[in-house]
Amino acid sequence: MNDSIKIRFFFYAIKKSRYIVFLITFFCFGVQADLNVNDDLILTEGFPDKLSAFRFFEDTRSQLPAKNVIPYDLISSLFSDYTKKNRFVYVPDSLQAKYETDSVYQFPIGSALIKTFYYIKNEQLEMSEQQLLETRLLLRKNDGWHAASYAWDDAQEEARLKIAGATINTSWVDKNGKYRSVRYRVPNKNQCQECHEANKQIIPIGPKARNLNKNKYYADSEAELNQLYYWLDKKVIDFYPDSLDLVVDWQDSTKNLNTRARSYLAINCGHCHSPQGNGASSGLYLGFTEKRPIHIGVMKKPVAAGRGSGNKLYSINPGKPEESILLYRMQSMDPGIMMPESGRSLVHDEGVNLIKEWIQEMR
Amino acid sequence: MNKACIIFCCLLLNDIVFADIHYIKPSEDIQERLQEAMILAKPGDTIQLDEGLYKLTDGLSLTQREVSIKGAGMYKTILDFSNQMSGAQGLLVTSDEVLLKDFAIINAKGDALKVVGVDGIYMINLRVEWTNGPATSNGAYGLYPVQSKNVFIEGCVAIGASDAGIYVGQSENIIVKNNKAMFNVAGIEIENSFYADVYGNSVSNNTGGILVFDLPDLPQQGGHHIRVFENQSYDNNTDNFAPQGNIVASVPRGTGILILANTNVEIFKNNIHSNGTINLAIVSYFQDTSDDNYYPHPRSVYIHDNIFSDSGFDPDIDRNELAKMLVDLANDDMPDIFWDGVTPFYQMIVGQPQEERIGLGENVGASFLAINPIKYLLPFLDPANRDYQDFFTNRPSLEKVIINLPNERLY
């Protein structure tokens, strides 16, 4: 062996040995019979192949969470091809997420946000079969948040890591009895990042205090409790302010139309369409706190919309929904036109109707 | 302690020295395999695409820094998005220091290649094309870096974009050299950008050849310091096929170069000819805006040492306001260089500061027409000012743009 080959071999050996050490560690922890969440795995670099390795669920199929994994809902949630979602938060023992004004809670290292997407196969039945599609994870590791998605197998027993995403062709019967088929896309790792990125860092989108301020039934308390109250009681968060009535459920027709529309746009578009997000260059900002009409889209001319403009002159033309680019792009299923750019392959009829009414009423 | 240190250094070195090359060939599951390669690539790695047709169904994206993606040539390695079902572009890059070289992206449903918010993007010998020719249903942009720094585009070919073949938006420090742009609405467009050198390009058969624009209500505006030189801009007589609403939809068919707003623009040593409406036009932003931070007029545009011929032989009067106005003013003698004469109102009265005026140096075959806005508003006066000498001047050149290429990664 000449010297350069020896050196190369030496490096190679070190490189391989790192994986061996990793595998041994993984194996040692992996075989322990333990119902607690696998804290070490959350912190380990990369993602394991199987979702079950994290032990987030006591029973995966029924989505029964493990100890300290707390289910929650959002007041208004992102449209994802009519899927239903189970959301869970996990914060390691003795640690707490810190309250941030106008932002998501700042979760401590070792935290996890878990979201399972599923279809109710027949929404007209009270007890219908469910189809789990994917479980998305946001893990707060030492160097920041990391995102990945796990797609469920046909037997619905295990979900496996899909770095490059996946396509699930499936169908369900909607609440009106209509048969719907869908080319559901499990996002790849980069697509997770596209929406969750602000200032080049991955951040969660949903768990802002104002999105959480609603009641949920908690089995352990056998009662319906305010989520923030429950989280504080469980020491998941350190604080929540008393007045948090900004965002509303966009489906709640008793609420103010403008607030409903802005709540809908905030959760569906605001993460990219913000000065820090991936849609910043458009100058269209749909976050809940944006106040400047031109940047919300009112009489705003398109910049780089291309055929997304649909031959219309303004993002929002008040009183004229059919002449508004924003609505046109929500109604489209053409990849070169539709918004959001990813995460949707069907039109959200209810969302479209809300925005149509909002623009119609606008003066 | 020392030992640990050495081992640590070795591990570090190990990753740097042995940058991997990932070889990819077209296959049935190419969508997943190529996307996976882009996700798993580490800084310094190269994804080497073998020649062949890559049939993709969804947009691709790259978020890892310092990755190179190389093909076997722009006519040999072809990423084909004809059957694209999701994704707003063919390829999206959001990481710094990425090198893309020697491959083609064809028939993307939206933009072909979009690059957002990076520092260092090198696009070399790429082809972006919609193969059915000009059509409103084509994607908007071919090469589309936006909100980026150190943008380098060389030797690329862009064909058929329904907005701009090569579009650099809201960026800084830009070189666009030796490219070909044909049958797009705009061949090359530099928009809301600072410090750009656009040279050695051949731009033909577009609606408008080279556009330098600045628009309001955007995070970056006040476009300035743009040099356009040694380009060929000719035969840009394709009917405008941009969807309405977009600013380029207002560009007349037959435009060689169009400057809209911007400060410090130098146009020199270009060969601009055979453009049916106008070889070179300099205009103010003409739509309503309430953006107080926006300056809608061109300032300090210097035009020298160009060769002009055959301008305005078939102006786009049926569809375009600018073309109509030109014909009304020109009285059957269409100019090569046109300035709309619009300035802030007080400058219409007292005149522009000398250094902000349009400057004309020696140009071969150039006829000139500017509007005198005061006369334009009054009846019975001819507002056309054809006095070339009135604008004749000699100004210092703008500084050249420098970008340090990652030479070790080029071959």
Enumerate residues 138 to 167 of chain B having a beta carbon within 8 A of any beta carbon in chain A: 138-141, 144, 146-147, 162-163, 167
- Rg of chain A over Cα atoms, rounded to whole angstroms, equals 22
Of the candidates B168, B72, B89, B80, the one whose C-alpha atom is nearest the C-alpha of residue B125 is B72
The whole-number pLDDT of residue A32 equals 43
Query: Chain B interface, mutation test: which of A183, A290, A303, most B Cβ atoms within 10 Å?
Result: A303
Tell me the DSSP string of A55-104: --EEETTTTEEPTTEEEE--SS----TT-EEEEEEE--TT--BBP-TTSB
Tell me the DSSP string of B181-226: EESSSEEEEEES-EEEEEES-EEESSSEEEEEE--SSSSS---EEE
Tell me which chain B residue has its CA closest to the CA of residue A189. Answer: B39
Fold of the domain spanning B110-409:
Pectate Lyase C-like (2.160.20)
Tell me the average pLDDT across A270-280. 91
For chain B, helix (H) and strand (E) counts, in that order, are 5, 34
In chain B, what residues touch A194 (CB-CB under 8 Å)?
61, 92, 94
Instruction: Render each residue's pLDDT in chain B as its tens digit; 411 residues.
Output: 455 555 555 455 544 556 899 999 999 999 999 999 999 999 999 999 999 999 999 999 999 999 999 999 999 999 999 999 999 999 999 999 999 999 999 999 999 999 999 999 999 999 999 999 999 999 999 999 999 999 999 999 999 999 999 999 999 999 999 999 999 999 999 999 999 999 999 999 999 999 999 999 999 999 999 999 999 999 999 999 999 989 999 999 999 999 999 999 999 999 999 999 999 999 999 888 889 999 999 999 999 999 999 999 999 999 999 999 999 999 889 999 999 999 999 998 899 999 999 999 999 999 999 998 888 888 888 899 999 999 999 999 999 999 999 999 988
In this complex, which of B7, B35, B84 lies closest to A164 when CB atoms are compared? B35
Judge whether B38 is closer than 8 Å to chain A, CB to CB: yes
Tell me which chain A residue has its CA closest to the CA of residue B35. Answer: A164
- Contact criterion met (CB < 8 Å) for A341 and B88: yes
Mean pLDDT, chain A, rounded, equals 89
CB A25 within 8 A of CB A31: no
Where do the CATH 2.160.20 domains begin and end in chain B?
Answer: 110-409
In chain B, what residues touch A345 (CB-CB under 8 Å)?
85-86
Tokens of B233: 């801009």
Tell me the average pLDDT across A229-243. 91
Binned at pLDDT 50, 70 and 90, residue A247 comes out as confident
pLDDT tens digits, residue range A159-184?
999 999 999 999 999 999 999 999 99
Query: Chain A interface, mutation test: which of B34, B217, B221, most A Cβ atoms within 10 Å?
Result: B217
Tell me the DSSP string of B83-108: T--EEEEEEEE-SSSEEEES-EEE--
What DSSP character marks residue A194? H
In chain B, what residues touch A336 (CB-CB under 8 Å)?
88, 108-110, 139-140
In chain B, what residues touch A311 (CB-CB under 8 Å)?
243-245
Cα angle, residue B231 at apex, residues B309 and B180 outer, rounded to 5° = 115
Given phi > 0 = left and psi -120 to 50 = alpha, else beta, which region is B68?
beta
Residue A12's CB is within 10 A of a number of other CB atoms, namely 12
pLDDT tens digits, residue range A19-68?
554 444 444 444 444 579 999 999 999 999 999 999 999 988 889 999 89
**Listing from the earlier edge strand, what are the strands of the sheet with A84-90?**
A69-72, A84-90, A112-120, A130-141, A144-152, A159-161
- Strands A159-161 and A144-152 come out as antiparallel
